[in-house]
Amino acid sequence: MRSTRYAAAATEPDLPEFEPPYRRRIGLLGGSFNPPHAGHREISLAALKRLKLDAVWWIVTPGSPLKDENLYAPYEARLAKARRTANHEDIVISDFEQRHNLQYTVDTIERLQFLNPSIRFVWIMGADSFAEFHRWKDWHRIAELAPLAVFNRPGYREEALSGEAAALLKPMRRDETEAATLPDLEPPCWIYFSETDNPLSSTAIRNAKTSGEDPTT
């Protein structure tokens, strides 16, 4: 049953600004994007191709309960850098959480689904995030709301696939060959994509900048 907790928001715009109304298979990549980098773009392009998506929305969060807010660059700066990094007509940079005063992924997905009942959403994440997925607020509910597309990150495959979330969701895992059908499947369901291998991370980039190193080499 669809939640009625957002009934008062039904008249709000149902798509990000400038988003064409014909797009109906959408991947959601949430995060602080502090900073955004080529790894975010790589998994977005892979998701567009493998899942046959119409678009990927980068949901740039104002802050995460699992991260130190003092480490964040200004929000508008992160949005601007995300637009430059994405540089693709099918990757939409969204301030949805900022505009709706949302902090948790479960609330973001519920609100998006309420406002966009005809869209099939897929939640996209890297293997490093999936390894910690069991620490997210109401993570079981997130898995029930949308199919999950988990993309490999170097050094995280074993941790991600042996973690608490992977263990509990193991019966719902689908093969990579079913990727194109994932947006149409009823959750909970998920696929682990093994081909992405960009080693960049926002944390590594911040640390490298602090030490004067080039994080892209």
Domain with residue 71: its CATH number is 3.40.50.620
Domain assignment of residue 191, yes or no: no
Domain assignment of residue 37, yes or no: yes
Domain assignment of residue 69, yes or no: yes
Domain assignment of residue 101, yes or no: yes
What is the total count of domains within the chain?
1
Residue 125 belongs to domain spanning = 22-179
Q: What is the DSSP string of the chain?
A: ----TTGGGTTS-SS-TT--TT--EEEEEEE--SS--HHHHHHHHHHHHHTT-SEEEEEE-S--TTS-GGGPPPHHHHHHHHHHHH--TTEEEE-HHHHTT--SHHHHHHHHHHH-TT-EEEEEEEHHHHHTGGGSTTHHHHHHHS-EEEE--TTTHHHHHTSHHHHHHGGGB--GGGGGGGGGSPSS-EEEE--------HHHHHHHHHHT--TT-
d(CA 43, CA 153): 10
Domain assignment of residue 112, yes or no: yes
Domain assignment of residue 170, yes or no: yes
pTM of the model: 0.82
Domain assignment of residue 187, yes or no: no
Domain assignment of residue 215, yes or no: no
Per-residue pLDDT of the chain (217 residues; tens, 9 = 90+): 334 333 333 223 345 544 555 669 999 999 999 999 999 999 999 999 999 999 999 999 997 665 666 778 999 999 999 999 999 999 999 999 999 999 999 999 999 999 999 899 999 999 999 999 999 999 999 999 999 999 999 999 999 999 999 999 999 999 999 999 999 999 999 999 999 886 645 454 434 444 454 444 3
